[in-house]
C-alpha cells in the first residue's frame, strides 16, 4: 500500500468511477455525492461514472499536482475495506467482474500523468456484490470512514 503524506498546498483532483446500477461498483459515485454534499472540498471532484476516459480533458485542464481515483476493485481484503495504491500498483489490481469501464484505469492514470506530471493514486474499495442498485451492507457501512479518510488526506491543513 502506498504511503501518502497529506499536503493541503497541492492541487488535487478526485475522479470517482463506477456504475451505481451495479451494486458495489457504484461506490465511487456515492462517495462523490457525499463529498459534494458535505462541501468541505478544496479539491476538484469529477464523478466519471463508467466513462473515466471522457474526463481526461477536464482533469488535465485542471493541472493537478495529484489525482485520487476512487473505484471498487478486487484485492486481498474484506468487503468494505479500502486501500490506497500508487500508479505502479494499478496493473496488479483486478477489476474484472466489477469494472464497467474501458479503457483500464491504468491507461487513464498514465495519460493524466504524461500530460500533467501529477501523482496518481487509486483508492480501491473491496466490493462484495455487482448486482442491484444498492451497496452491500459491508460497503455501505464503510462509506463514512472512506469519506473521512479522503477528507483528511486531501483537505487537511
- pTM beyond 0.75: yes
Q: Reduced to 3 states, what is the DSSP secondary structure of residue 137?
A: helix
The three three-digit cell numbers of residue 99, written as one number: 469494472
User: What DSSP state is assigned to residue 144?
Assistant: H
Q: What is the pLDDT of residues 15-57, one digit of tens each?
A: 999 888 888 999 999 999 999 988 776 789 999 998 999 999 9
The three three-digit cell numbers of residue 67, written as one number: 489525482
Q: What is the DSSP string of 46-67?
A: EE-TT-GGGGHHHHHHT--SEE
Question: Structural domain tally of the chain?
Answer: 1
Q: Does a structural domain hold residue 7?
A: no
Q: In what order do the strands lie in the sheet with 66-72?
A: 44-47, 12-16, 66-72, 119-125, 82-86
Lowest mean pLDDT among 12-21, 57-66, 99-108, 145-154: 99-108
Paired sense of beta strands 44-47 and 12-16, if any:
parallel
Instruction: Report the CATH number that the domain containing residue 85 is assigned in CATH.
Output: 3.40.50.1450
Q: Does a structural domain hold residue 24?
A: yes
Alpha-carbon Rg of the chain, whole angstroms? 14
Q: Does a structural domain hold residue 6?
A: no
Taking residues 112-125, report their average pLDDT. Answer: 95
Q: Which residue reads 468487503 in cell numbers?
A: 79
The three three-digit cell numbers of residue 100, written as one number: 464497467
Task: Domain of residue 94: give its range.
Answer: 12-155
Q: Does a structural domain hold residue 145?
A: yes
Q: What is the DSSP string of 17-46?
A: ---TTSGGGGHHHHHHHHHHHHT--SSEEE
Q: Does a structural domain hold residue 4?
A: no
pLDDT value of residue 157: 44
Task: Report residue 61's pLDDT band, with 50, 70 and 90 as the boundaries.
Answer: very high
Q: Does a structural domain hold residue 1?
A: no
Q: What is the pLDDT of residues 70-104, one digit of tens each?
A: 999 888 889 999 999 988 887 766 554 444 455 67
Q: Does a structural domain hold residue 3?
A: no
Amino acid at each position: 500500500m502506498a504511503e501518502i503524506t497529506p499536503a493541503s498546498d497541492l492541487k488535487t483532483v478526485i475522479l470517482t468511477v463506477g456504475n451505481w446500477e451495479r451494486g458495489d461498483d457504484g461506490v465511487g459515485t456515492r462517495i462523490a455525492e457525499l463529498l459534494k454534499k458535505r462541501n468541505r472540498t478544496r479539491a476538484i471532484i469529477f464523478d466519471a461514472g463508467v466513462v473515466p476516459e471522457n474526463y481526461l480533458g477536464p482533469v488535465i485542464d485542471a493541472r493537478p499536482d495529484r489525482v485520487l481515483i476512487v473505484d471498487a476493485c478486487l484485492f486481498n481484503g474484506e468487503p468494505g475495506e479500502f486501500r490506497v495504491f500508487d500508479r505502479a500498483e494499478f496493473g496488479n489490481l483486478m477489476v474484472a467482474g466489477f469494472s464497467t469501464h474501458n479503457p483500464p484505469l491504468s491507461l487513464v492514470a498514465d495519460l493524466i500523468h504524461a500530460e500533467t506530471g501529477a501523482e496518481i493514486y487509486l483508492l480501491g474499495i473491496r466490493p462484495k456484490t455487482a448486482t442491484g442498485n444498492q451497496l452491500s451492507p459491508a460497503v455501505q457501512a464503510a462509506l463514512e470512514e472512506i469519506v473521512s479518510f479522503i477528507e483528511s488526506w486531501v483537505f487537511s491543513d
